[in-house]
């Protein structure tokens, strides 16, 4: 089984939209399942423009574009879904007004949030973190893959790990029973998405432990 892969876009200003669109297209070409447009600093107008351009860039691919929390922009921009924050609107409410096939995800940080999201319904998948310490959330310690495994066991929904995910850490994520992973930094460097996903799939499939300080299964990075 291959991991579900979600690329989350790095923060960008309007003059850098071409950069984001190129990365989105690269991820889609590599076979990423989901691209999440996460741009909290953008106003509705520029965000809508970015979403529309990314939707166009994904035409003809199987990659689905989701907008972080802005349901209005997701619907207006023709996105394939929305990813809700843990404290955002109820998923059943979104489901009641969204078109057929609209994908709904939610972020969770605890088992209680996981159980609540599962019980209320309307959600297609969950993203749990912060699994490892991450530069996108400085000062927030990673909870480790043991906590990830507990969340996976608490819901029948697919759970993706987020936060500090590197290829070296994927064996621990896979071993937790998670359905896949979401990442910002993993896709933000110079490496092409095809190389990243090819290596990630090989690691996930083999379950092989990778050596090194990041190969771990705990919040401190030990396997």
CATH number at residue 139: 3.20.20.70
Average pLDDT over the chain reads 88
Instruction: Please check the confidence at residue 220 and state whether its pLDDT lies above 50.
Output: no
Identify whether 217 is part of a domain.
no
Which range is least confidently modeled, 22-31, 35-44, 139-148? 139-148
Identify whether 220 is part of a domain.
no
Instruction: Please check the confidence at residue 49 and state whether its pLDDT lies above 50.
Output: yes
Identify whether 58 is part of a domain.
yes
**What DSSP character marks residue 105?**
E
Q: 119, 77, 120: which is closest to 102 by C-alpha?
A: 77
Tens-digit pLDDT profile for residues 146-184: 999 999 999 999 999 999 998 889 888 988 999 999 999
pLDDT for position 2: 84
Identify whether 219 is part of a domain.
no
Instruction: Please check the confidence at residue 88 and state whether its pLDDT lies above 70.
Output: yes
pLDDT for position 46: 96
d(CA 27, CA 103): 18
Here the tokens at position 142 are 């990673």
Rounded alpha-carbon distances, angstroms, from residue 17 to 36, 44, 129: 14, 14, 27
| Number of structural domains found in the chain | 1
Q: What is the mean pLDDT of residues 105-127?
A: 97
Residues in the chain, overall count: 223
Identify whether 79 is part of a domain.
yes
Identify whether 215 is part of a domain.
no
pTM of the full predicted structure?
0.89
In this structure, the dihedral spanned by the alpha carbons of residues 62, 68, 73 and 78, taken in order and rounded to 10 degrees, is 10
pLDDT for position 30: 94
Q: Which residue range(s) make up the domain with 131?
A: 4-206
Q: Per-residue confidence at 23, pLDDT binned at 50, 70, 90?
A: very high
Confirm if 197 and 30 have CB atoms less than 8 A apart.
yes
Tens-digit pLDDT profile for residues 177-215: 999 999 998 888 777 899 889 988 887 777 644 333 344
Identify whether 134 is part of a domain.
yes
Read off φ and ψ for residue 210, nearest 5 degrees: -100, 140
Identify whether 197 is part of a domain.
yes
């Amino acid at each position: 089984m291959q991991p579900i892969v979600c690329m989350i876009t790095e923060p960008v200003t309007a003059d850098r939209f071409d950069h984001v669109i190129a990365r989105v297209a690269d991820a889609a070409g590599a076979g990423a399942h989901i691209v999440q447009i996460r741009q909290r600093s953008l106003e509705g107008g520029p965000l809508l423009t970015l979403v529309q351009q990314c939707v166009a860039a994904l035409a003809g691919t199987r990659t689905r574009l989701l907008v972080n929390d802005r349901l209005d922009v997701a619907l207006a921009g023709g996105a394939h879904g929305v990813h809700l924050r843990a404290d955002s609107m109820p998923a059943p409410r979104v489901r009641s007004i969204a078109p057929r096939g609209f994908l709904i995800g939610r972020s969770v940080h605890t088992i209680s949030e996981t159980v609540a999201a599962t019980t209320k319904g309307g959600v297609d998948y969950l993203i749990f973190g912060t699994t490892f310490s991450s530069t996108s959330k400085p000062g927030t310690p990673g909870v480790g893959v043991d906590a990830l495994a507990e969340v996976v066991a608490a819901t029948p929904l697919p759970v993706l790990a987020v936060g500090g995910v590197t290829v070296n850490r994927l064996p621990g994520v896979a071993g937790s029973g998670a359905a896949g992973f979401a990442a910002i930094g993993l896709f933000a460097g110079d490496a092409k998405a095809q190389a990243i996903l090819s290596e990630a799939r090989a690691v996930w499939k083999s379950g092989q432990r990778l050596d090194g300080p990041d190969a771990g299964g705990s919040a401190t990075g030990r396997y």
